[in-house]
Amino acid sequence: MSRLIEGEYPNYQEIIPKKYTTQAILNKNDFLNQVKTASLFSGKINEIKFKIDSKKNKINIFSESSEVGKHESSILAKIKGDPIQISFNHRFLLDGLMTIKSSEIILELNGDSGPGVIKSVGDETYLYVVMPIKGN
């Protein structure tokens, strides 16, 4: 069943960032596996923290739950831009990553509270916007 609703559709183009301060290009399967593993330790709000180090070309992944324990890992990436620490809900990240067909992804970030964008390398038609979890 469907119903036509009166009114204007929101301008979704406004929330898609045009620029980024940090960009990482990394292997999709390696990143996907690290996020899945970290999700096992993510706790009630499904939070996974990322520390992106542009000098070492490394993304550190951290999650912690008082009931299960904690997880720390890292993955190599081609990173340019500012170093950043940011947290995401692992479910939203996995939703975006699972539909990408290419072997590499582009992760673009705008500070620790701006939307992140996940793109597929070699496929200009795919774009996934994910909002971070705000820190305390």
Domains in the chain with CATH codes? 19-130 (3.70.10.10)
Mean pLDDT, range 52-61, rounded to an integer = 96
Q: Is 90 helix (H, G, I), strand (E, B) or coil?
A: helix
Instruction: Please give the pLDDT value at position 24.
Output: 97
Q: Report which DSSP code applies to 14.
A: G
Long-range pairs of 51-55 with CB within 8 A, sequence gap ≥ 24: 51/83, 51/84, 51/85, 52/22, 52/24, 52/77, 52/79, 52/83, 52/84, 52/85, 52/86, 52/109, 53/79, 53/83, 54/22, 54/79, 54/80, 54/81, 54/82, 54/83, 55/83
pTM of the model: 0.87
Per the model's pLDDT, the better-predicted residue between 89 and 9 turns out to be: 89
pLDDT per position as a tens digit, 79-120: 999 999 999 999 999 999 999 999 999 999 998 889 999 999
